[in-house]
Amino acid sequence: MTSLLLALLLSAEPPSTKEVLAKYDAIMAPPTFKAVAQMTAHRDDGSTRGYKMAILKGVDDKMRLWFQEPAAVRGQEMLRNGENFWVYMPNLKRALRLASRDNFQGGDFNNADVLRANYTRDYEGTVKEDPKKADQWVVELKAKTPDSAYDSVKLWVTREPLGMPVHGEYYTASGKMLRSADFSEVKDFGNGLKRPAKITMRNEIATQRFSEMLWESVDVAATVGEGKFGLSDLGH
Protein backbone atom coordinates (compact mmCIF):
# COMPACT_ATOMS: atom_id res chain seq x y z
CA MET A 1 0.00 0.00 0.00
CA THR A 2 1.44 3.38 -0.98
CA SER A 3 1.97 6.04 1.66
CA LEU A 4 -0.44 8.36 -0.19
CA LEU A 5 -3.20 5.74 -0.23
CA LEU A 6 -2.57 4.96 3.43
CA ALA A 7 -2.83 8.64 4.31
CA LEU A 8 -6.10 8.97 2.39
CA LEU A 9 -7.59 5.95 4.14
CA LEU A 10 -6.58 7.18 7.57
CA SER A 11 -8.04 10.64 6.92
CA ALA A 12 -11.42 9.31 5.79
CA GLU A 13 -14.42 9.85 8.04
CA PRO A 14 -16.16 6.64 9.09
CA PRO A 15 -19.31 5.90 7.12
CA SER A 16 -22.60 5.48 8.94
CA THR A 17 -23.44 2.13 10.46
CA LYS A 18 -26.54 1.98 8.27
CA GLU A 19 -24.43 2.42 5.14
CA VAL A 20 -21.93 -0.26 6.13
CA LEU A 21 -24.60 -2.80 7.07
CA ALA A 22 -26.52 -2.14 3.85
CA LYS A 23 -23.35 -2.90 1.88
CA TYR A 24 -22.65 -5.99 3.99
CA ASP A 25 -26.17 -7.32 3.46
CA ALA A 26 -26.01 -6.67 -0.30
CA ILE A 27 -22.81 -8.76 -0.42
CA MET A 28 -23.69 -11.59 1.97
CA ALA A 29 -27.49 -11.77 1.63
CA PRO A 30 -28.83 -10.39 -1.67
CA PRO A 31 -32.64 -10.06 -1.81
CA THR A 32 -33.12 -13.33 -3.73
CA PHE A 33 -30.81 -16.07 -4.99
CA LYS A 34 -30.27 -19.76 -5.63
CA ALA A 35 -27.08 -21.28 -4.27
CA VAL A 36 -25.15 -24.48 -3.64
CA ALA A 37 -22.91 -24.70 -0.58
CA GLN A 38 -20.93 -27.23 1.42
CA MET A 39 -20.22 -27.24 5.14
CA THR A 40 -17.48 -29.29 6.77
CA ALA A 41 -17.67 -29.60 10.55
CA HIS A 42 -14.38 -30.43 12.31
CA ARG A 43 -15.09 -32.12 15.65
CA ASP A 44 -13.16 -32.22 18.95
CA ASP A 45 -11.89 -35.74 18.28
CA GLY A 46 -10.38 -34.79 14.90
CA SER A 47 -13.18 -36.33 12.84
CA THR A 48 -15.06 -34.39 10.18
CA ARG A 49 -18.53 -34.47 8.70
CA GLY A 50 -19.49 -32.83 5.44
CA TYR A 51 -22.85 -31.59 4.20
CA LYS A 52 -23.90 -30.42 0.75
CA MET A 53 -27.02 -28.30 0.37
CA ALA A 54 -29.07 -26.34 -2.12
CA ILE A 55 -30.31 -22.97 -0.86
CA LEU A 56 -33.11 -20.70 -2.02
CA LYS A 57 -33.54 -17.18 -0.64
CA GLY A 58 -36.69 -15.16 -1.13
CA VAL A 59 -37.76 -11.63 -0.27
CA ASP A 60 -39.12 -10.67 3.16
CA ASP A 61 -36.65 -12.81 5.11
CA LYS A 62 -37.50 -16.18 3.64
CA MET A 63 -35.00 -18.99 3.06
CA ARG A 64 -35.24 -22.68 2.27
CA LEU A 65 -32.50 -25.28 2.29
CA TRP A 66 -32.39 -28.85 0.94
CA PHE A 67 -29.72 -31.29 2.20
CA GLN A 68 -28.22 -33.37 -0.63
CA GLU A 69 -25.33 -35.09 1.18
CA PRO A 70 -24.55 -37.16 3.19
CA ALA A 71 -27.13 -39.90 2.64
CA ALA A 72 -28.11 -39.82 6.33
CA VAL A 73 -29.65 -36.35 5.98
CA ARG A 74 -30.75 -36.47 2.33
CA GLY A 75 -34.37 -35.39 2.15
CA GLN A 76 -34.15 -33.14 5.21
CA GLU A 77 -35.09 -29.52 4.58
CA MET A 78 -34.87 -26.33 6.61
CA LEU A 79 -37.15 -23.33 6.28
CA ARG A 80 -37.06 -19.83 7.67
CA ASN A 81 -40.02 -17.54 7.26
CA GLY A 82 -39.57 -14.30 9.16
CA GLU A 83 -38.84 -15.13 12.79
CA ASN A 84 -39.73 -18.81 12.45
CA PHE A 85 -37.39 -21.74 11.74
CA TRP A 86 -38.29 -25.34 10.96
CA VAL A 87 -36.57 -28.57 9.94
CA TYR A 88 -38.50 -31.09 7.86
CA MET A 89 -37.77 -34.71 8.79
CA PRO A 90 -38.70 -37.08 5.93
CA ASN A 91 -38.94 -40.12 8.23
CA LEU A 92 -41.58 -38.31 10.31
CA LYS A 93 -43.14 -36.56 7.31
CA ARG A 94 -43.47 -33.43 9.40
CA ALA A 95 -41.63 -30.23 10.28
CA LEU A 96 -40.21 -29.51 13.72
CA ARG A 97 -39.64 -26.02 15.04
CA LEU A 98 -36.03 -24.88 15.56
CA ALA A 99 -34.35 -22.19 17.67
CA SER A 100 -32.36 -19.57 15.76
CA ARG A 101 -29.30 -19.98 18.01
CA ASP A 102 -29.12 -23.78 17.93
CA ASN A 103 -26.08 -25.28 16.19
CA PHE A 104 -26.58 -25.85 12.47
CA GLN A 105 -26.29 -29.63 11.95
CA GLY A 106 -24.09 -29.91 15.04
CA GLY A 107 -21.41 -27.64 13.59
CA ASP A 108 -20.10 -24.26 14.69
CA PHE A 109 -22.45 -22.05 12.70
CA ASN A 110 -25.85 -21.60 14.27
CA ASN A 111 -29.15 -21.70 12.42
CA ALA A 112 -29.37 -17.92 12.24
CA ASP A 113 -25.84 -17.68 10.78
CA VAL A 114 -26.97 -19.71 7.79
CA LEU A 115 -30.64 -18.83 7.47
CA ARG A 116 -30.93 -15.30 8.87
CA ALA A 117 -28.32 -12.95 7.42
CA ASN A 118 -29.84 -9.47 7.73
CA TYR A 119 -27.57 -7.25 9.79
CA THR A 120 -29.42 -4.04 8.89
CA ARG A 121 -32.56 -5.33 10.57
CA ASP A 122 -30.96 -7.19 13.46
CA TYR A 123 -28.18 -4.88 14.70
CA GLU A 124 -27.24 -1.31 15.50
CA GLY A 125 -23.93 0.17 16.61
CA THR A 126 -20.93 2.24 15.59
CA VAL A 127 -18.24 2.24 12.92
CA LYS A 128 -14.68 2.96 14.06
CA GLU A 129 -11.15 3.05 12.73
CA ASP A 130 -8.80 0.18 13.52
CA PRO A 131 -5.29 1.64 13.91
CA LYS A 132 -3.79 -1.77 13.08
CA LYS A 133 -5.77 -2.22 9.86
CA ALA A 134 -5.80 0.97 7.82
CA ASP A 135 -7.75 -0.61 4.96
CA GLN A 136 -10.62 -1.79 7.20
CA TRP A 137 -13.40 -0.44 9.40
CA VAL A 138 -14.40 -2.20 12.59
CA VAL A 139 -18.15 -2.24 13.25
CA GLU A 140 -19.28 -2.78 16.85
CA LEU A 141 -22.87 -4.03 16.93
CA LYS A 142 -25.57 -4.77 19.49
CA ALA A 143 -28.59 -6.94 18.71
CA LYS A 144 -31.95 -5.21 18.35
CA THR A 145 -33.89 -8.46 18.73
CA PRO A 146 -33.43 -11.72 20.69
CA ASP A 147 -33.85 -13.59 17.38
CA SER A 148 -30.52 -12.20 16.16
CA ALA A 149 -27.70 -14.72 15.79
CA TYR A 150 -25.69 -13.15 18.66
CA ASP A 151 -26.09 -10.50 21.38
CA SER A 152 -23.16 -8.48 20.07
CA VAL A 153 -20.78 -8.62 17.13
CA LYS A 154 -17.48 -7.03 16.11
CA LEU A 155 -17.10 -7.08 12.36
CA TRP A 156 -14.09 -6.02 10.30
CA VAL A 157 -14.99 -4.94 6.75
CA THR A 158 -12.96 -3.46 3.91
CA ARG A 159 -13.08 0.26 3.27
CA GLU A 160 -12.83 -0.28 -0.47
CA PRO A 161 -15.04 -1.84 -1.61
CA LEU A 162 -17.08 -0.84 1.41
CA GLY A 163 -18.60 -3.64 3.47
CA MET A 164 -16.72 -6.75 2.31
CA PRO A 165 -16.34 -8.84 5.48
CA VAL A 166 -12.86 -9.94 6.56
CA HIS A 167 -13.22 -11.10 10.17
CA GLY A 168 -15.95 -11.35 12.78
CA GLU A 169 -16.21 -11.93 16.52
CA TYR A 170 -19.49 -13.00 18.10
CA TYR A 171 -20.37 -12.48 21.78
CA THR A 172 -22.90 -13.22 24.50
CA ALA A 173 -24.68 -10.40 26.36
CA SER A 174 -22.05 -10.71 29.11
CA GLY A 175 -19.22 -10.12 26.64
CA LYS A 176 -17.97 -13.70 26.33
CA MET A 177 -16.76 -14.56 22.83
CA LEU A 178 -18.58 -17.59 21.44
CA ARG A 179 -17.29 -17.72 17.87
CA SER A 180 -14.89 -16.02 15.49
CA ALA A 181 -15.01 -16.10 11.72
CA ASP A 182 -12.64 -15.49 8.83
CA PHE A 183 -14.06 -14.58 5.43
CA SER A 184 -11.80 -15.49 2.51
CA GLU A 185 -11.53 -16.45 -1.16
CA VAL A 186 -13.50 -13.53 -2.58
CA LYS A 187 -15.10 -14.76 -5.81
CA ASP A 188 -17.04 -13.21 -8.67
CA PHE A 189 -20.31 -15.16 -8.78
CA GLY A 190 -21.65 -13.20 -11.74
CA ASN A 191 -24.39 -10.59 -12.18
CA GLY A 192 -22.40 -8.09 -10.13
CA LEU A 193 -22.02 -10.22 -6.99
CA LYS A 194 -18.54 -10.52 -5.47
CA ARG A 195 -18.37 -12.06 -2.03
CA PRO A 196 -16.26 -14.39 0.12
CA ALA A 197 -16.70 -17.97 -1.09
CA LYS A 198 -15.36 -19.40 2.17
CA ILE A 199 -16.27 -18.73 5.80
CA THR A 200 -14.34 -20.43 8.58
CA MET A 201 -16.20 -20.32 11.90
CA ARG A 202 -14.12 -21.16 14.98
CA ASN A 203 -15.61 -22.24 18.29
CA GLU A 204 -14.04 -20.08 21.02
CA ILE A 205 -15.46 -22.27 23.81
CA ALA A 206 -14.50 -25.72 22.49
CA THR A 207 -11.38 -24.51 20.73
CA GLN A 208 -10.63 -27.76 18.88
CA ARG A 209 -13.84 -27.32 16.89
CA PHE A 210 -14.37 -25.30 13.73
CA SER A 211 -16.57 -25.41 10.65
CA GLU A 212 -16.02 -24.27 7.08
CA MET A 213 -18.77 -23.11 4.72
CA LEU A 214 -17.83 -23.09 1.04
CA TRP A 215 -20.22 -21.40 -1.37
CA GLU A 216 -19.91 -23.14 -4.75
CA SER A 217 -22.44 -21.01 -6.62
CA VAL A 218 -24.74 -18.06 -5.93
CA ASP A 219 -27.14 -17.03 -8.69
CA VAL A 220 -28.80 -13.68 -7.94
CA ALA A 221 -30.55 -13.66 -11.33
CA ALA A 222 -32.46 -16.90 -10.70
CA THR A 223 -36.24 -16.85 -10.54
CA VAL A 224 -37.41 -17.47 -6.98
CA GLY A 225 -41.09 -18.39 -6.54
CA GLU A 226 -42.95 -17.28 -3.41
CA GLY A 227 -44.67 -20.67 -3.17
CA LYS A 228 -41.42 -22.34 -2.12
CA PHE A 229 -41.50 -20.80 1.36
CA GLY A 230 -44.73 -22.19 2.74
CA LEU A 231 -44.65 -24.75 5.54
CA SER A 232 -47.00 -27.02 3.58
CA ASP A 233 -44.52 -27.17 0.67
CA LEU A 234 -41.83 -28.90 2.72
CA GLY A 235 -41.20 -32.44 1.55
CA HIS A 236 -42.45 -31.73 -1.98
Q: Residue 16: how many CA atoms within 13 Å on its side-chain side?
A: 4
Amino acid at position 112, single letter:
A
3-state secondary structure of 41: strand
Architecture per CATH, 13-230: Clam (2.50)
Q: What is the distance between the alpha carbons of residues 155 and 205, in angstroms, rounded to a whole number?
A: 19
CA distance 209 to 192: 34
pLDDT of residue 58: 94
- Whether 70 and 76 have beta carbons less than 8 Å apart is answered as no
Task: For the chain, give every domain's residue range.
Answer: 13-230
Q: Which of 36-40, 50-54, 177-181, 232-236 has the lowest mean pLDDT?
A: 232-236
Q: What is the mean pLDDT of the chain?
A: 92
What is the SS3 assignment for 198?
strand
